[in-house]
Amino acid sequence: MNPANRDFVLEIIGEVRQAYVVTTKPTALASIYANNRINDGDSSTVHRLTILLRASQEETTPQNLQPVRVLVLNAGGIQNPDFPQVFYELCEQHDPQFALVTETRLGGPQA
């Protein structure tokens, strides 16, 4: 994902097993916020990632600014035997500066 805006919000449904790589515009300063919400009715979760970039005062991109790459991944269960290898491969492939790993299950199929 390559957001065009300086403010970016990604909402992920807790049970979705999918990885996202967000690459921002070049910036000198970024703030990253993460929170989650649990719905009482069905115990579903939503993870929210917000990235805020400081706006550049210059119209051209100075050479010292770099894009920020964030890997967002649902672990798919704390006991998921595939997670360590998948995480390693995604980090090797995308070389993120930050990784956010979400987890909604603490163990067992009904945890």
% of the chain at pLDDT higher than 70: 79
Q: How far is CA 37 from CA 7, 34, 47, in A?
A: 20, 11, 7
pLDDT of residue 92: 97
Neighbouring-strand partners of residue 101: 73
pLDDT of residue 74: 84
User: What rounded mean pLDDT belongs to the chain?
Assistant: 79
13-50 pLDDT, tens digit each: 777 778 889 888 888 888 889 888 887 777 777 888 88
Q: Kindly report the pTM of this predicted structure.
A: 0.75
